[in-house]
Amino acid sequence: MAIQLFMPTFHTEECISEIKECLDKGWTGLGYKTVLFEEKWKEFSSMPYAHFLNSATVGLHLAIKIFKSENNWNEEDEVISTPITFVSTNHAIGYEGLKVVFADVDEYLCIDPVDIKKKITERTKAILYVGLGGNTGRYKEIVEICKEHKLKLILDASHMVGTRLDGEIVGRDADAVIYSFQAVKNLPTADSGMLCFMEEKYDALARQYSWLGINKDTYSRANDDSTYKWKYDVNYLGYKYHGNSIMASIGMVQLKYIEQDNAYRRQIARWYDDGFSKYAHKIKVIPTANGCESSRHLYIISVENRDGLLKHLNDNDIYPGVHYRDNTEYPMYSYAKGSCPNAHRLSNSVLSLPLHLRLTRSEIETVIKAVIQYISR
C-alpha cells in the first residue's frame, strides 16, 4: 500500500455524536460548540483568550489587521517573516498593505535572530514567527528582540499544536498566536483555526471583525428588549471569518486525543532518527531545538539530490512532501530574491517524510530503507 505523507485520523463515532447534538439542537453555526471549544482550547493551551475561526489564514489576517489599526501602523510599514512557510503566513501581511521583509532561516528552518536584527528598520512593526514542523527554533531570542525593539510578536503556530518549550505550551510571551486545524494538521477538523490574543481588547475586536463587524453585545442587549429584536450595531467593515459548531464538534473530540497522538508522532520521529543515525554524512536531519518538545507535525531531512530521492521514493510507492519552496522565488515576492541564501539552498534540499498516526513501525522501516538505498548508491 502507498505510504502517504499525511493521512489524518478521526475519532469518527465520537465526532458524529458531537455533530449529531448540533443537528438535533438545530444549531450548527457560530455559538454553542464554538464557545465550548474555545473554553477547552484555553484550558489546553493556557492562552488567556481564544477565538475560533474558519482557518488559520484568516486568524493571521485578523492579527495583522487589528495590530495595524490599533497601533497606527501605516501602509508600507514592515513585518519581518520567513521565506520557508506556507504562503498564508506572508499573504496575511500583504492583505493589510504592509511589506513582508524576509529574514533568513537557521538550522531549524525557522527565522534566524541574527538575520532578523540585520533587517530591522525604523519601519519594522512586528515579527511573524513560524514554528516550522512544530519546532520552536530560537523562539526565546526572538521574544527578546521584540521586547528590545518594541515589536509585536505574532506566532504562526499552525504546526505547533501541543508543542512545549521547557515544559510549557509556547506562545504566552507573544502578542498573538494562531493555530491551524486544517484537514492534515495534528488536530485536524476539515478547515478551522484559533486566534489567541494576550489582551482582551484585541480579542473583543477580533470577535467583531470575524462576523462582518457586528457588535454582538449590542445584539444581545437589543434582544432583551422585544421592541428592538432586530437591532445590533455594525462598527467595522468586517469579514465572514468565524468558525462554526460542526467544525468545533470535531475539534473538541480531536483535542481529547492530541497528547497521545503527538506522543506517537514523536515515537515515529525517534524511529526515523535511529534509522538515519549512521548516515549523518549524507542525511541531515533538521534538529529539534533544545528544550523543545515538538508536536512533530513534520519530520524533515536535507539531502544533496532531493529531487532524485523524491522520485526514487515515489517509484517505491512512498509519497513525501516538501515544506516549503523559498517564498522569495514566487513572482509576487521576487523583490526579495537573493535576500535569504540559506532558505534558498535548503528549499532545494529538504524533504518531509511520511508522518501520521496510521503508520506502523514496519512502514517507517520501509521508508528508512528506501531513503538509505538511494543515498548509498
Of the pair 88, 352, the CB lying nearest ligand PLP is at 88
Within 10 angstroms of residue 67's Cβ, the number of other Cβ atoms is: 21
What one-character-per-residue DSSP string does 50-112 give? -EEES-HHHHHHHHHHHHHHHTT--TT-EEEE-SSS-HHHHHHHHHTTPEEEE--B-TTSSB-
Angle (CA) 184 34 200, round 5°: 105
Q: Is 86 in the site for ligand PLP (CB under 6 A)?
A: yes
Q: Closest separation between CB of residue 325 and ligand PLP, Å?
A: 13
Is 158 among the residues that bind ligand PLP (CB under 6 A)?
yes
Say how far apart CA 346 and CA 349 lie, in whole Å. 5
b (16+ CB within 10 A) / e for 166-180 = eeebbbebbbbbbbb
Residues 339, 102: Cα–Cα separation, whole Å: 7
CA atoms of 359 and 6, how far apart (whole Å): 10
* Nearest CA among 347, 349, 353, 345 for reference residue 321: 353
Considering beta carbons, is residue 180 or 215 the nearer one to ligand PLP? 180
56 versus 370: smaller Cβ distance to ligand PLP: 56
Nearer to ligand PLP, 86 or 374 (CB): 86
The nearest distance, CB 196 to ligand PLP, in angstroms, is 14
- Pick out residues in 163-202 that bind ligand PLP (CB under 6 A): 180, 182, 193
> What is the footprint of ligand PLP within residues 10-69 (CB under 6 A)?
55-57
CB of 292 vs ligand PLP, minimal distance in Å: 16
Cell 477580533 found at? 206
How many chain residues touch ligand PLP (CB under 6 A)?
Answer: 14
- Residue 88 as a binder of ligand PLP (CB under 6 A): the answer is yes
Residue 130 interacts with ligand PLP (CB under 6 A): yes or no: yes
DSSP type of residue 124: E
Q: Does position 347 bind ligand PLP by CB under 6 A?
A: no
State how far the alpha carbon of 158 is from the alpha carbons of 78, 85, 145, 174, 195, in Å.
22, 10, 22, 15, 10
Q: What is the DSSP letter of 288?
A: P
Among 104, 156, 173, 261, binds ligand PLP (CB under 6 A): 156
Q: Which of 34, 81, 89, 124 touches ligand PLP (CB under 6 A)? A: 89
Distance in Å, CB of 15 to ligand PLP, minimum: 18
Interface with ligand PLP by CB under 6 A: which range of 84-92, 145-153, 230-238, 273-281? 84-92
Contact positions vs ligand PLP (CB under 6 A): 55-57, 85-86, 88-89, 130, 156, 158-159, 180, 182, 193
